[in-house]
């Protein structure tokens, strides 16, 4: 039976999650690049949102959430391509399936958009479009099906707990971003001569939009206006605030000054890390996971850029990949009833930790291998991923789009 209250909440959550990408993520990333590349970053996020929306309707929703028959454990079928058989009175649980379709579409939009942070300032726009389209089909849809669509990892499989996308969103995009940055190569001047973010205020505004939108992301994933949604919202906020504070104090202690970019990035790390756990843990879990996010993601940035020497330009692996993985594993601990959680299918902390680790390993392996293959295909079809040295120096705004964002 249709629940009008639940429907109203998921309608609201859908708008909030779309708001995360358009304009939240676009502004967050836009502030972090050189002023001559702002338009290109905004264009990447906006265009990805449009292309993924069309693909989601055509067949990607069906691959993620359709019935795949004998292959149902690994991928959905095409029975719901173009929303076949879905009308105004078709329900998903107690909400209209069209609302569920739209809600999940916003997740599919933001995930490849997050990868933008790895390749800014040096990639062809044609490569961005082709890569994002192939990636949402070949990486996002299968993992979403494994975890949420009745596949082998989720409730109908081994019992991985990923409430709102630690694996489906953050680990997939973080791993894929790292592979893309590794293959694409660093920006000119990396690491010593890369210019700092051109607009800290824009970073903070974008991060604030992401923070607000994340309430729809996590609390909306309850698919109901109930106490579980309320707790998910609570722990989401606590984790973000704790991670931001932790990041700020570490930076303050280490470099002598706390920065606006740093505290904003810390908040995003806390939001990404609590995402898989948000529907399973209590307030103490939110606090602990937020603290872990601030520490692990802060030092993860240096690990990727200094130790690995990979120019993941806007720290997608460190913030989203490491954050999502941390949240997935800590769900086994803080999801336990003894630690204030709601319990889990693994019965013991160790049992659930093993289940979570299997899900993490499978997702990392799939995302890494398939992303590498996609990159090679895209590179061959576009004549190489990178723009010329001259175009990179000039900036992509004018070269790729004929516009100068910094004159606005």
Helix intervals (H) in 190-282: 200-219, 227-255, 260-274
What single string gives the DSSP state of each residue in 315-345? -HIIIIIHHHHHHHHHHHHHTSGGGTS---T
Give the pLDDT confidence score for residue 193 in this predicted structure: 82
Collapsed DSSP state (helix, strand, coil) of residue 311: coil
Token reading at 14: 């859908």
Percentage of the chain exceeding pLDDT 70: 98
Token reading at 59: 């067949």
Report the distance separating Cα 392 and Cα 373, nearest Å: 25
pLDDT, mean over the chain: 96
Give the pLDDT confidence score for residue 408 in this predicted structure: 44
- pLDDT tier, 346 (very low <50, low <70, confident <90, very high otherwise): low
186 contact partners, CB below 8 Å, separation of at least 6: 310, 311
| 8 A C-beta contact, residue 289 and residue 255 | no
Mean pLDDT, range 51-63, rounded to an integer: 98
3-state helix/strand/coil string of 158-200? CCCCCCCCHHHHHHHHHHHHHHHHHHHCCCCCCCCCCCCCCCH
Least confident of 89-103, 137-151, 205-219, 392-406: 392-406
Helix, strand, coil share (%) of the chain residues, nearest 5 = 75, 0, 25
Instruction: Tell me: pLDDT of 43 over 90.
Output: yes
In this structure, how many other beta carbons lie within 10 angstroms of the beta carbon of residue 316? 28
Which class for 67: exposed (0-12), middle (13-18), buried (19 or more C-beta within 10 A)? Answer: middle
Instruction: Tell me: pLDDT of 68 over 80.
Output: no
- Per DSSP, what are the bridge partners of residue 386? 123
| pLDDT tens-digit readout, 76-111 | 999 999 999 999 999 999 999 999 999 999 999 999
- pLDDT tier, 407 (very low <50, low <70, confident <90, very high otherwise): low
- pLDDT tier, 344 (very low <50, low <70, confident <90, very high otherwise): confident
Report the distance separating Cα 277 and Cα 274, nearest Å: 5
Backbone φ and ψ for 238, nearest 5 degrees, come out as -60, -45
How many angstroms separate the Cα of 302 from the Cα of each of 174, 246, 296, 317, 323?
A: 15, 16, 10, 11, 14
Report the distance separating Cα 146 and Cα 131, nearest Å: 22
Which class for 171: exposed (0-12), middle (13-18), buried (19 or more C-beta within 10 A)? Answer: buried
Instruction: Tell me: pLDDT of 72 over 90.
Output: no
Instruction: Tell me: pLDDT of 285 over 60.
Output: yes
The label of the residue with tokens 């795949």 reads: 68
Chain CA centroid to CA 123, Å: 20
Length of the chain: 408
In this structure, how many other beta carbons lie within 10 angstroms of the beta carbon of residue 23? 17
Collapsed DSSP state (helix, strand, coil) of residue 385: coil
| pLDDT tens-digit readout, 7-30 | 999 999 999 999 999 999 999 999
CA atoms within 13 A on the CB side of 204: 8
Give the pLDDT confidence score for residue 192 in this predicted structure: 82
Q: Which of 114, 119, 162, 112 has its CA nearest to residue 140? A: 112
Report the distance separating Cα 76 and Cα 62, nearest Å: 6
Dihedral sign, CA of 18, 366, 162, 207? negative
The DSSP element (H or E) to which 287 belongs, if any, is helix 283-302
Token reading at 80: 């719901």
- Per DSSP, what are the bridge partners of residue 144? none
Instruction: Tell me: pLDDT of 362 over 50.
Output: yes
Mean pLDDT, range 288-294, rounded to an integer: 98
Ordered structural domains, the chain, with CATH: 4-407 (1.10.3430.10)
pTM of the model: 0.97
Q: Which of 303, 316, 330, 199 has its CA nearest to residue 268? A: 316
- Per DSSP, what are the bridge partners of residue 53? none
Mean pLDDT, range 114-125, rounded to an integer: 98
Give the pLDDT confidence score for residue 255 in this predicted structure: 96
Instruction: Tell me: pLDDT of 169 over 60.
Output: yes
Question: Judging by DSSP bridges, how do beta strands 95-96 and 91-92 pair with one another?
Answer: antiparallel
Least confident of 24-28, 243-247, 343-347, 348-352: 343-347
Give the pLDDT confidence score for residue 67 in this predicted structure: 80
């Amino acid at each position: 039976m249709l629940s009008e209250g639940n429907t109203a909440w998921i309608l609201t959550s859908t708008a909030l999650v779309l708001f995360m990408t358009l304009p939240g993520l676009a502004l967050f990333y836009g502030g972090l690049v050189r002023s001559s590349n702002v338009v290109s970053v905004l264009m990447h996020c906006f265009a990805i949102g449009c292309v993924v929306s069309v693909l989601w309707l055509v067949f990607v929703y069906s691959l993620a959430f359709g019935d795949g028959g004998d292959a149902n454990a690994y991928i959905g079928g095409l029975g719901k391509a173009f929303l076949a058989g879905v009308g105004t009175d078709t329900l998903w649980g107690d909400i209209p399936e069209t609302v569920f379709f739209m809600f999940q579409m916003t997740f599919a939009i933001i995930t490849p958009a997050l990868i933008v942070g790895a390749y800014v300032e040096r990639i062809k726009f044609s490569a961005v479009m082709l890569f994002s389209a192939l990636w949402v089909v070949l990486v996002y849809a299968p993992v979403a099906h494994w975890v949420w669509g009745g596949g082998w990892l989720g409730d109908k499989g081994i019992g991985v707990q990923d409430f709102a996308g630690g694996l489906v969103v953050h680990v997939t995009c973080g791993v894929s971003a790292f592979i893309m940055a590794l293959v694409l190569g660093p920006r000119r001047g990396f690491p010593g001569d890369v210019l700092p973010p051109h607009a800290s205020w824009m970073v903070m505004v974008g991060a604030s939009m992401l923070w607000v939108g994340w309430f729809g992301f996590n609390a909306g994933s309850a698919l109901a206006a109930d106490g579980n949604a309320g707790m998910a919202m609570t722990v989401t906020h606590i984790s973000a605030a704790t991670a931001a504070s932790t990041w700020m104090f570490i930076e303050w202690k280490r470099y002598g000054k706390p920065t606006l970019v740093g505290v904003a990035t810390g908040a995003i790390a806390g939001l990404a890390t609590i995402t898989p756990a948000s529907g399973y843990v209590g307030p103490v879990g939110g606090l602990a996971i937020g603290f872990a996010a601030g520490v692990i993601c802060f030092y993860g940035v240096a690990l990727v850029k200094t130790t690995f020497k990979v120019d993941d330009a806007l720290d997608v692996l460190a913030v989203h990949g490491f954050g999502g993985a941390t949240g997935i594993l800590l769900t086994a601990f803080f999801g336990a009833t003894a630690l204030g959680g709601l319990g889990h299918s693994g019965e013991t902390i160790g049992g659930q930790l093993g289940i979570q680790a299997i899900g993490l390993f499978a997702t990392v392996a799939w995302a890494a291998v398939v992303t590498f293959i996609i990159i090679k295909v895209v590179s061959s079809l576009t004549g190489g991923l990178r723009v010329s040295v001259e175009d990179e120096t000039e900036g992509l705004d004018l070269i790729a789009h004929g516009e100068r964002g910094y004159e606005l």
